[in-house]
């Protein structure tokens, strides 16, 4: 027997799917924030404002639209950087796994 949906029930189903996706995404974002905390990223950076290093929203804005943004951010995290955001260098994080580097880069680039 096939299900038939009224417009209202279709909207309810669509809203439920969007809410489920939002909860999943917020869970992923929280996990990535915890990963950043664990690796001392949040000692120098914040999402919305500059601390010692740039705000992640500013990093995301700088790299917006660049096809190689993820690779560039991953490289900066892995090898550190100097002169991109001022005089203080960012220390390297060579022990991070490639998977964690990718998660952090995606999270940083999604900051708003």
Model confidence band, residue 59 (pLDDT cutoffs 50, 70, 90): very high
Higher-confidence residue of 91 and 11: namely: 91
Question: What CATH architecture applies to the domain 28-109?
Answer: Orthogonal Bundle (1.10)
Burial 9-38 (b: 16+ CB within 10 A, else e): eeeeeeeeeeeeeeeeeeeeeeebeeebee
Range from 1-5, 61-65, 72-76, 98-102 carrying the lowest mean pLDDT: 1-5
Cα–Cα distance, 51 to 44 (Å, whole number): 6
**What pLDDT does 65 receive?**
95
């Amino acid at each position: 027997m096939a299900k038939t949906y009224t417009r209202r029930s279709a909207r309810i189903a669509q809203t439920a799917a969007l809410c489920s996706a939002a909860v999943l995404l917020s869970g992923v974002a929280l996990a990535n924030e915890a990963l950043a905390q664990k690796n001392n990223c949040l000692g120098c950076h914040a999402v919305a404002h500059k601390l010692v290093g740039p705000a992640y929203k500013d990093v995301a804005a700088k790299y917006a639209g660049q096809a190689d943004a993820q690779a560039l951010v991953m490289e900066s995290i892995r090898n550190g950087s100097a002169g991109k955001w001022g005089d203080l260098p960012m220390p390297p994080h060579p022990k991070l796994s490639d998977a964690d580097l990718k998660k952090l880069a995606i999270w940083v680039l999604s900051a708003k």
